[in-house]
A and B are shown apart, each in its own frame.
Chain A
Amino acid sequence: MRLACTTLYLHKGGSRAEEYEDAFYPRRGHVVYRRRSADSHLSKRFAVADGATESLLAGAWAGVLVRAFCVRVAPGRKEPHVTYARAIRQWSRYVDQYRDEREARAQPIRWYEEPGLEKGAFATFLGLQLDHDSDGLRWTAWALGDSCLLHVRDGHLVDAFPRQPGDTFDTSPPLAFSKGDVAVLAEYTECRSGTFRWNDAFLLLTDAVAAWSLGAVARGSLDWQQLLDIEGYGADAEAEFGQWVEGLRSTGEMKNDDVTVMRVSIEG
């Protein structure tokens, strides 16, 4: 089995590129994994997270979450508990280092930043694990918030998780919290699993593009299938993706927000 993962993203219109607060892993725009031999077990993880606007260091927290899920995975450990516990541990060190670094460059924390740093950081989380072993092809996903997974076969939607076509998206989804209780975060996290086939694809989408895609599916429009054709190579692909998103924003079809599209294709 060969897995090809392609990710394209764009910051919110009117913001600077460095103000993008989604995160994804694998971090490179295009990456391919292959099963080593016919009898080996291939298990790979993919994740997106969306840092909340009303939160300081939200993009950094989203980054910590996706790495905690995808990097140095311990097989058999209980998810999503392991990911949240690891992320919360790493976050406390991150914030201490951030404060030290601000002091070191003579930019101490300002009065208006302090309450947000005290409060903690918030982000949605969506993680996908794909397994290929002697039992066949299985997927498992965990979601907290409104970042969505779409399972696609032959250009048709097989499954959407955790939101469904026609669902409304609002500004108060449940969020992974850097000072949260692991058990509580896990309780709110939804989990789903299933089987997949050769040539299926999975899309991991943050909320603006997820709402647009699931809205299109609900209307019977095939526009969302354009996401299956994205190419992740180089500046031309990024520019083309940017123009496409900005076009949808300008007509009001897509909410003006950070956008992340990760496509995982299964190639036999």
Chain B
Amino acid sequence: MSDPFGAGDAGKTKAQGVADAVNRLLQELSIKCAKEEGVRDYFHIAVIGYGARVGPAFGGTLSGRDFVPISEVADNPARIEERMKKEDDGAGGLIERSVKFPIWFEAKAEGGTPMTAALTRAKSLVDSWLAQHPSSYPPIVIHLTDGESTDGDPSGVADEIKLQVSADGSVLLLNMHLSSEPGSPIRFPDNESGLPNDYARMLFRMSSYLPRHMQQLVAGEGQNASDGTKGFVFNAELPDVVSFLDIGTRTSELR
């Protein structure tokens, strides 16, 4: 777990790469739900970490909590880093600008990859959520991993997660494999033919079919999407899954 992450991120470990992806996801979700003077609770979030142990992974004051309303998540990062971001200067060059990068989840390179235990924990959280909120938008499980399962085949529990339903539809399981392996990234495939190995094929089978509105967003990125398209990326950076989540009227500038 302390292997280098990707070719372009010198010095960044795999664990750091996954931690950055989780923190960026929480950051983007907070911004998506932000309104003036607060964040609206369109989502409740649980973050499960797995390595030497499997359990709640929020740091800081949220430590030990399972589901947390997004407003509390936004107001309680464990700390906020200042990071430099390269931006277009409008004249063909790049400028560096300091941006705030909130941290909820710290990188930990320890233990194995107990994927089956982690998904079992996710299933139990989904079960308890649905028991309390049977009419809610169905929960989405976003599984970020950088390695292969070290506690057996997680396919069975993945199937059990996908069988859960609310009155509004089926639970979605998205598998996002963030990898340091050389090779082309694979994003939202609709068949197994281009997948490089059995592990990738297993994750593909474990993933949910994308509902129609998510297919349209994938297609909007210039990629083929069909009813066979799955919520799966392999050997890739974390895609913009936050854009999959509908909270109301979307905004984009007319051109």
Contact = CB atoms under 8 A, between A and B. Distances in A.
Contacts of B128: none
Given A56-B36, A112-B39, A115-B31, A171 B254 contact: no
Given A112-B34, A116-B31, A188-B254, A171 B249 contact: yes
Contact of A257 (B35, B37, B248): B248
Contacts of A110: 34, 74-75
Interface in A201-224: 207
Interface in B101-140: 102
Interface string A92-108: 00000010001000010
A60 B100 CA distance: 27
A172 B252 contact: yes
Interface string B75-89: 100001000000000
Contact of A173 (B39, B247, B249): B249
Contact of A54 (B36, B102, B250): B250
Contact of B249 (A57, A98, A113, A175): A175
Among B74, B102, B249, the most chain A Cβ lie within 10 Å of the Cβ of B249
B65 interface: no
A113 B27 CA distance: 11
Among A111, A180, A207, the most chain B Cβ lie within 10 Å of the Cβ of A111
Contacts of A113: 34, 36-37
B247 A54 contact: yes
A122 B252 CA distance: 8
Given A54-B247, A112-B74, A171-B246, A185 B254 contact: yes
A54 B254 contact: no
A111 B32 contact: no
Contacts of B250: 52, 54, 171-172
Contacts of B255: 184
A53 interface: yes
A257 B249 CA distance: 10
B247 A53 contact: yes
B253 interface: yes
B30 interface: yes
B184 interface: no
Interface in A196-248: 207
A122 B35 contact: no
A102 B42 CA distance: 24
A53 B31 contact: no
A177 interface: yes
Nearest to A174: B254
Interface string A42-66: 0000000010111111101000000
A16 to B, nearest CB: 10
Interface of A: 15, 19, 50, 52-58, 60, 98, 102, 107, 110-116, 119, 122, 124, 171-175, 177, 179-180, 184-185, 188, 207, 257
